[in-house]
Structures are given as C-alpha cells and as structure tokens.
Amino acid sequence: MGIYFWSIFKKRGSMRVKKLKIILPAILIAALGACSKENKDVIAEINDTEITEQQFQAYLDFKRIKVRDDAHKQTLLDQYLQREGLRLLIESKQAEKLKSATQAELADFRRQMVISRYFEQHLKDAVNDEKIQNYYLNNPQKYSQEKVHVAHVLIRLQRGMSEEDRKVRLTTINEAYSKLKSGADFAEIAKEYSEDKVSSKKGGDLGWMKKGAVDVKFSEAIFSTPEGEISLPFETAFGYHIIKVIAAPNTVVQSLESVTGDIRYTLRQQIRQVHEAELQKQLKISKK
C-alpha cells in the first residue's frame, strides 16, 4: 500500500504530495474524534454538553421505568433532555446561588439513600415464614380480640353546654329508660330517641365491638352487661347512653394469613433497631 501511494505522489508531482500530507492528518483526526464519540455512546448534545446512552439508561434504571418500544424511548429521552437542559442552563446562570443549597440537599439525599438501601438489602431475607409463624404462636394475645354485639341509645352532650341543657337531656335519656323498663322494644326506642343517626336507623345496632376500642366507660358497660339485658343510663364523653347486649362476648382469633404483613413489618423494625444500634457502637464521634 505504501509503495502504491508513493508511486502516485511521484507521478503527480510534489504539490499533490503536500496536499495529501495536509489532508491525511485531518482525516485521521476526524476519524479518531468519531471513534471517541462512538465509544462514549453520545446520543445528544445540550449546548455542547454531551449526553451519553449510559447516563440516560442510569436515569431509567433509577426511576424504574420500563421502555415499551422505540417510540416510548424517544418520548422519555425528549423529556429527560428537556429537564437536563433546564438544569444545565439554570446552573450556568446562578451557579454560586445554587451551589451551597444544592450541595446540602444532595448530601442529605445521599445520607437517606445510603441508609435506606443498606437496610433494605440487610432486611430482605431477615424475616422468613418460619420466624413469622413463631412470632404468631408466641404472641396469641396480640391476635385474639374479645367482641360483643351491642346496641345503644345516645343523647348527645355538647362541649360548653349549660347545666340546664344537660338536665333536659338527662331527663330525655331517663324517659327512654323508663319506657324500656316498661317493656318497650329497644329498636323502636332507639329509632325514636337516639341521636346517633347511623345506628338509630338500625334500631341502635352497633354490631360487634372490640374491647377497649371505644370510650373506657362505654367499653366497661358493654362487657359487664349480661346478654339480652339493658344497662342503666350512663355518661361518656359523647353523651348519655343506654346499651343492650344482643350477643354475649366472644373471642375472635385472627388467622395467621390475615396478620402476616403486620408481623413481617414488626419483626423487620425490631431487627433494624438492633442492627442500627450495633452500627452506632462502631462510630467514634467527637465534637470540637
């Protein structure tokens, strides 16, 4: 090849040789530049700033975006370039103003992400089905609930109500109680007197209520009144009540399947607290 070129130069004169000496290096430089860009997988430029395929792919991975097809990818790329371009433009105009605030935010974000990702990986397999089942069996009191089926009549009391108004309402609840003791139907009395608009439409029926799920006084009353009986009028933060126990207390046990998610969360939190405390012991912090 070298002999061939030399023969051409010799035939066509020294002027053409000089021209080729100038052109060939320029071609080589252009080729090398093209190879450099190709190696970097440059897919766009924003005001002379190169954007590579690797940068764009890292953005998609971070956002967990799945590309459906080429058209979708181009749409995502356009959005990415617009946002990145805006960032570059703003930073170039207000570099000093943004520098300290941005660095602080990035540092905080980095702290959160490093800690979060570390524990996410650490806890990934820390809680298995066997540990969940053991926790469920060893803590039966947490997953059993005592419930009672109850109905009530409510005469509401308002905050700041005068003593006279309170007496009027006390008279009303006592009137309802007298009718019940005289044999009136509880459901009918609830519909007539109760100011609990939801339950009154159902004859005062509140359904099955968990122990301790409402006002303490109310809970004590519904779990101490015998099945089929009505209580004396009593006061809670909501007002004056009369309750009737429709069905006696019954213990309901939650299935393992229904509480698996809660147990997994509880165990993961416990393991994280222990491991984080272990890590803290390895730190040597001195204030100056």
CA angle, residues 215, 167, 224, in degrees to nearest 5 = 30
C-alpha dihedral (51, 54, 57, 63), degrees to nearest 10: -80
- Pick the range with the lowest mean pLDDT from 41-50, 100-109, 234-243: 100-109
121-172 pLDDT, tens digit per residue, is 888 878 899 999 999 999 998 898 899 999 999 999 998 899 999 999 999 9
DSSP label at residue 143: G
Q: Classify residue 31 by burial, with Cβ atoms within 10 Å: 0-12, 13-18, 19+.
A: exposed
CA angle, residues 217, 199, 201, in degrees to nearest 5 = 155
Rg (CA), the chain: 39
Q: Residue 40 — very low, low, confident or very high, per pLDDT cuts 50/70/90? A: low
Determine the average pLDDT of the residues in 216-223: 93
Q: Residue 28 — very low, low, confident or very high, per pLDDT cuts 50/70/90? A: very low
Nearest CA-CA partner of 177 in 163, 193, 196:
193
Q: Domains along the chain?
A: 2-118 (no CATH), 145-253 (3.10.50.40)
What pTM was computed for the model?
A: 0.48
Determine the average pLDDT of the residues in 191-207: 96
- Pick the range with the lowest mean pLDDT from 158-162, 266-270, 283-287: 283-287
Q: Residue 200 — very low, low, confident or very high, per pLDDT cuts 50/70/90? A: very high
| C-alpha dist (Å) from residue 188 to 61, 164, 253 | 64, 27, 34
Q: How many other CB atoms are there within 10 angstroms of residue 132's CB atom? A: 19
Q: Please report the pLDDT score of residue 95 as a whole number.
A: 66
Share of the chain above pLDDT 70, in %: 84
Nearest CA-CA partner of 203 in 184, 227, 178:
184
How many angstroms separate the CA atoms of 182 and 44, rounded?
A: 88
Q: Is 230 helix (H, G, I), strand (E, B) or coil?
A: strand
Tally of CA atoms within 13 A in the half-sphere of 162 that contains its CB: 3
How many angstroms separate the CA atoms of 106 and 98, rounded?
A: 12
Q: Report which of residues 112 and 2 the model is more confident about.
A: 112
79-104 pLDDT, tens digit per residue, is 999 999 988 888 777 766 666 777 78
Share of the chain above pLDDT 90, in %: 57
pLDDT above 50: residue 6? no
Q: Residue 194 — very low, low, confident or very high, per pLDDT cuts 50/70/90? A: very high
| Neighbouring-strand partners of residue 25 | none
Nearest-10 crossing angle of helices 95-122, 70-93:
130
Mean pLDDT of the chain: 84
Q: Please report the pLDDT score of residue 70 as a whole number.
A: 93
pLDDT above 70: residue 10? no
pLDDT above 90: residue 8? no
Q: Residue 51 — very low, low, confident or very high, per pLDDT cuts 50/70/90? A: very high
183 phi/psi in degrees, rounded to 5: 105, 5
pLDDT above 50: residue 193? yes
pLDDT above 50: residue 21? no
Give me the amino acid identity at 170: L
The residues, ordered by sequence, that sit 6+ positions from 188 with a Cβ below 8 Å of its Cβ are 203
